[in-house]
Amino acid sequence: MAKVVYSSIISGLAGKIGNSVLFRSPSSHFGYLRNYAYPRLTDHMHEIGSVAKNLTIIWNQGSSEFKEELQTYCDWYHKVPKVGDELGTRTASCFSLWIKIMYRWAKDHEDVDLSTFTMEDFVVTGTAVSTVKYCIMNGYLIAPPFDYSEMTAAF
């Protein structure tokens, strides 16, 4: 690791330069440069990747009406402040929110493997998360202050 001193007109730099990474220090007068170390790939990373690929395929088969209703919910959800252990902002992406719904739902259904889950499996076993209304009623999403009873477009 090397110390990088900034000129008087630069207050800080961060980024990748060749095979090195430049990152800030608490001071605005200098930073650090170190060799980039590619992270060790683990089985858990491969599992998360296969689930993400599979859920993306299923998401692309979903109805546009469901996605529009979930986006309406997501526009409200993004503005709700987090409390307790949840810090930061909530997602503004309805796809990310749907991924969270699916993980929460799969946690309640131990027989479901999201890496091999198919659209046919979703149609048969996914009734609890097939509409935004059901997601809220079954506790996979928090209840909004607006009327969500009409959010019944099927996935």
Residue spans of alpha helices (H) in 93-131: 94-108, 119-125
Contacts by 138-145 with C-beta closer than 8 Å and gap 24+? 140/101, 140/104, 140/105, 141/73, 141/77, 141/97, 141/101, 142/77, 142/80, 144/73, 144/76, 144/77, 145/76
pTM higher than 0.85: no
Q: What is the mean pLDDT of residues 129-152?
A: 95
Read off the pLDDT of residues 88-119 as tens digits, 9 standing for 90 and up. 667 779 999 999 999 999 999 999 999 999 99
pLDDT exceeds cutoff 80 at 125: yes
Instruction: Determine the pLDDT at residue 16.
Output: 82
Interior angle at CA 77, CA 86 and CA 66, nearest 5: 130
Read off the pLDDT of residues 19-72 as tens digits, 9 standing for 90 and up. 888 877 777 778 888 888 888 999 999 999 999 999 999 999 999 999 999 999
Contact 105, 126 (CB under 8 A): yes
